[in-house]
Structure 1
Amino acid sequence: MKKFNTIFVVDDDLVYHFIMKKLFSKCNINANTSYFFNGLEAIHNIKNNAQTDNVPDLILLDINMPVCDGWQFLEEFRKLKQNLNKEITVYLVSSSNDISDLNKSKQYEEEIKKYFYKPMTQEDFETIFT
């Protein structure tokens, strides 16, 4: 099983946060998990900890959020990722199956490992964590 010590869940849906907590527990994923309601909160956290090891190993990122959506997050992340002390794995997790979102995700191939559809399943977790 892949070991991610620190995980960020970036999604504006409180119910989704609850579901993710249950999935982490069910799949025995023991990590320091932080939840953010928009991309700006997560980017600020990463920027504030850029020169430390307190940045996440894994980010599960939604696309449609207020304040700073997933695309805006990825633009900022692209600018700062080379200045980080470790590599961060990013998965897009969205309810959008719009072809324009799928095509747009290809513009971020260097930042995004894979695109998952909500709701995430135990099989999706196995893909990520094994």
Structure 2
Amino acid sequence: MKKISNLFVIDDDKIYHFLLKNLFKQNGIDVASTFFINGHDAIEHIKTNPSGEVLPDLILLDVNMPIMNGWQFLEEFNKISGSLAKKPTIYMISSSNNEVDINKSKEFDGAVKGYFLKPICKEDLEKIFLY
């Protein structure tokens, strides 16, 4: 698997955070993970240091969250991405299998690399980490 040193997980489900940490461990994925429960907290964290020190290599982004959902995060992220020292790869990971959501993720083609349904599995992780 490709080495990802820093990862942001933006998802309001803390049980999912726990399960994802275990899935990483079980599959030998050693990555520094920062967890956010909404898009607003994550975007503010990114804005505090756009020089690259806090920027992740990879973002796993949920669609449905309170305060700022995944779509709103992407809109804000696109506004600031030009000023960032590096551009993280973003994957949408959601329990929504609604075609509207899946197709909407394709509208963010420059930012969103792919869309996976929860719960993600070992095969999904291999696709994500082998990008």
The TM-score by the shorter chain falls in which range? Answer: over 0.9
What residue identity is the alignment partner of 1:121?
Answer: C
2:97 maps to a residue whose letter is N
2:81 is aligned to: 81
CA distance in 1, matches of 2:67, 2:95: 18
Instruction: Write the distance in 1 (CA, Å) between the matches of 2:100 and 2:121.
Output: 24
1:12 CA drift (Å): 0.3
Q: Percent identity?
A: 50
The 1-side partners of 2:45 and 2:4 are apart by 17
Deviation >4 Å, runs of 4+: none
* RMSD of Structure 2 on Structure 1 (CA): 0.9
2:38 matched to which residue of 1? Answer: 38
Q: CA separation in 1, counterparts of 2:29 and 2:49?
A: 23
- What is residue 27 of structure 1 aligned with on the other side? 27
Q: Which residue of 2 aligns with 1:52?
A: 52
Moved more, 86-95 or 48-57: 48-57
What is the deviation of 1:52? Answer: 3.2
1:56-106: CA deviation from partner (whole Å, max 9, x where unpaired): 110000000000000000000111111111120000000001111112112
Match of 2:14 in 1: 14
3-state SS of 2:46 partner: helix
Q: Partner of 2:97: helix, strand, or coil? A: coil
What is the aligned length? Answer: 130
Aligned equivalents of 1:94, 1:129: Cα separation in 2: 17
Is 1:103 equivalent to 2:103 in the alignment?
Answer: yes
Deviates more, 1:104-113 or 1:69-78: 104-113
